[in-house]
A and B are shown apart, each in its own frame.
Chain A
């Protein structure tokens, strides 16, 4: 029973929940406290992916606020897009958004997704997420801290 005692020793490591941020918009499906997300890397350096991973890890635990990462856009309410939109990923991003059932929304994570960041003007870059598919919520930072990502998600789930 080594693992049981290890669990007991670790205890609860999640950060205490900060105050609920002001809602930016209601969850797209109209169901509060629930947001199913499909993550799309449109051309990121993977810095934002690491922070998203941390946001859904045991310390920041975004799932306690109702946000969940799912395996297919068919199961999702929203897309979580990171990185600049590159030429190769432009059509797949559009296809993925088309595959999300209505009503839906787009959350752009990181400076690259907001305004192309340091890659602005690069030869393989089509534009920011806002330019290509539009963004409903944007999270600034290069990369954004997990707290910021969690806060942005909470501003949609309202929890």
Chain B
């Protein structure tokens, strides 16, 4: 055996010894439980996983029922006094219920194994099904009050889950960031809905939808902008995206998957429900605003993802990118809808809805595989991973499926939707329309650049993490994921494959959901996808079959040729004359993205610092070189820091009134009471 390998495996064996003793420390428990010996899963994890699967399956069933039109409204007036709870899963909500349920089922299965590997606390395990249930309530809500209650329940339960590992400072900071941003978004949504309900005179969604188009344009625009801000923050659109790259990496991986795949999609649901359905067709600038916001978000998201070195942070930024693409699709659809080009608007709507589903599939799988990497190595830093394909081959294949989907290449889940989006954009110019003539080419460029950079990002994520040689001992000793985790991931991968090869499977669901909106969708055909009113066809299944055939053919030809070739000889790897290659000679995530970082320096603004130590008296020799780079979100730096600064200054000013003197506080209370009484008297008059 190679002595180098010996030395590497040795410490693991040593640390395994005290774990059997009674005084086993925390770290040793992890080592013992992760050994090759099968350990029974934790009962609490099994219960939590089963409950999550059950809730998810119920949501899926309810969603399918809603899409077939078999659901009825439910009223529970006694549950919340004065407000009442009104639930009605309509086809549009049903589509999102299907999405949430379909994400929750693999996540539930996955949690069983993940809870043991990563020692999830019991509180988080208990909260997981609650979170799924809260998410399912959002699309089912049928009144303003119910919607707000469900939305807040979802926000709070996800916050508890983000804080599962609250002993780490980074997690607490991420939790605080998430709490503040999600509640800023909530305030915007609250204002929007209250404004809408007050103007329409009813809190009932059905009543608002009937009254919505007749409201004054100023009110409707204000509601739209507030809804865009609030739901945009949940969907991770700029500039309120900053919670995503903080909360997603720090949350446990099943939670990241649920948040990124399902909860973020609910931001788009809110936009569709409030901004499109309840408000009805609006002025053109609504769609153009959404289009611009989406294009900027997509570009910024993918650029930040391409330079991210934390695997889960990369996936989180990719979420911003994909939601940006969905927003582009919706924006185009709304703009064209108000221009009367309903056939092309239908293409864009189909693209947006299909991309939501595709994103849910590949992003859930991506986060689950990233969680498998985290559980197997304890690392999220791509610069220290590498060579995992050898130690965890199944995870490598599954992450590959997710990466293929995220890069929008044929046979990936995101291909058909991104193709549809580009088709919709290319066919959207209306003759004589100067605004569209300017906006569309810019958007096509943004989407094309986003897709290209998305490929680079995913090649980096997969290549650096899974190929080449391990860059750290932890990566070299990676443990393969347990069966339950693999099963959950395989289920998500199956969803990816279906969306990649046969998007027709979700065609009826899309048509049902769009039936409720003033936007149409394209009918997805089984084999050849034709676009009405536009020249363009694609056949994903034929593409897949052709590719499979080519692979099989080349394997067969290669086998055949190998019989005639001389026997293979094993020679040392060519290392440019050096004795051997070391993992430090490989591309890292940082070095792979370095050219991009240079090109987009003005947008990304990285902090780089090169420090070279030279021995005394010898200016030509180098003793040590240190290269440090830190990627701070540039929007966060430019926009959030000044705001935070002003908030802090204001708080300092307000603090002067808080001296800590009980007498003063009593005086405040008394004064306040007096003011209220006087005001009451005045009003009563």
Contacts and interface: CB of A to CB of B under 8 A. Distances in A.
B578 A99 contact: no
A98 B579 contact: no
A99 B571 CA distance: 8
Nearest to A91: B579
A95 B574 CA distance: 8
A17 B572 CA distance: 41
Contact of B574 (A72, A91, A93): A72
B572 A98 contact: yes
B421 to A, nearest CB: 42
Nearest to A74: B574
A134 interface: no
Pick from A91, A93, A99 the residue with the most CB of B within 10 Å.
A99
A83 interface: no
Nearest to A40: B577
Interface string B573-615: 0110111000000000000000000000000000000000000
A92 B574 contact: no
Contacts of A40: 577
B578 A92 contact: yes
Contacts of A96: 577
A73 B578 contact: no
Contacts of A74: 574
B574 A99 contact: yes
Interface residues on B, range: under 10
B571 A92 contact: no
Interface in A90-107: 91-93, 95-96, 98-99
B209 to A, nearest CB: 68
Interface string A59-99: 00000000000001110000000000000000111011011
Nearest to B577: A92
B577 A95 contact: yes
A95 B578 contact: yes
Which secondary structure characterizes the binding site on chain A? helix
A91 B571 CA distance: 16
Contacts of A95: 572, 575, 577-579
A16 to B, nearest CB: 38
Contacts of B579: 91, 95
A87 to B, nearest CB: 14
A143 B248 CA distance: 65
Contacts of A91: 577, 579
Contacts of B574: 72-74, 99
B183 to A, nearest CB: 59
A99 B572 CA distance: 8
A40 B574 CA distance: 14
Contacts of B572: 95, 98-99
Pick from B575, B577, B578, B579 the residue with the most CB of A within 10 Å.
B577
A95 B575 CA distance: 9
A75 B567 CA distance: 19
A91 B580 CA distance: 12
A98 B570 CA distance: 12
Contacts of A73: 574
A108 to B, nearest CB: 17
Nearest to B573: A99
A93 B577 contact: yes
A98 B577 contact: no
Interface in B414-469: none
Contacts of A72: 574
Contacts of B578: 92, 95
B574 to A, nearest CB: 5
A99 B574 CA distance: 6
A53 B572 CA distance: 30
A91 B578 CA distance: 8
A40 B572 CA distance: 19
Contacts of A98: 571-572
A91 B577 CA distance: 8
B502 to A, nearest CB: 44
A74 B574 CA distance: 8
Contacts of A93: 577
A59 B254 CA distance: 68
Interface string A22-56: 00000000000000000010000000000000000
B573 to A, nearest CB: 9
Contacts of B575: 95
A72 B575 CA distance: 10
Contacts of A99: 571-572, 574
A95 B572 CA distance: 9
A99 B570 CA distance: 11
B530 to A, nearest CB: 48
A74 B576 CA distance: 10
Nearest to A92: B577
A93 B577 CA distance: 7
Contacts of B571: 98-99
Interface string B249-287: 000000000000000000000000000000000000000
Nearest to A89: B577
A93 B574 CA distance: 12
A132 B411 CA distance: 54
B657 to A, nearest CB: 75
A91 B572 CA distance: 14
A95 B579 CA distance: 8
A40 B578 CA distance: 13
B579 to A, nearest CB: 7
Interface string A121-150: 000000000000000000000000000000
A48 B577 CA distance: 21
A9 B571 CA distance: 51
B532 to A, nearest CB: 49
A40 B576 CA distance: 11
A73 B572 CA distance: 13
A92 B579 CA distance: 7
A134 to B, nearest CB: 18
A70 to B, nearest CB: 13
A153 B494 CA distance: 60
Nearest to B575: A95
A92 to B, nearest CB: 3
A139 B639 CA distance: 69
Nearest to A73: B574
A99 B579 CA distance: 12
A74 B577 CA distance: 12
A95 B580 CA distance: 10
A80 to B, nearest CB: 15
A91 B574 CA distance: 13
A40 B571 CA distance: 20
A157 B495 CA distance: 60
B649 to A, nearest CB: 61
Interface string B331-352: 0000000000000000000000
A32 B169 CA distance: 71
A93 B575 CA distance: 12
A90 to B, nearest CB: 11
A43 to B, nearest CB: 13
Given A91-B577, A92-B577, A93-B577, 7 more contacts: A40-B577, A91-B579, A95-B575, A95-B578, A95-B579, A96-B577, A99-B574
Interface of B: 571-572, 574-575, 577-579
14 contacts: A40-B577, A74-B574, A91-B577, A91-B579, A92-B577, A92-B578, A95-B575, A95-B578, A95-B579, A98-B571, A98-B572, A99-B571, A99-B572, A99-B574
Interface of A: 40, 72-74, 91-93, 95-96, 98-99
Nearest 10 pairs of A and B residues by beta carbon: A92-B577, A99-B574, A95-B577, A96-B577, A74-B574, A91-B579, A72-B574, A73-B574, A92-B578, A98-B572
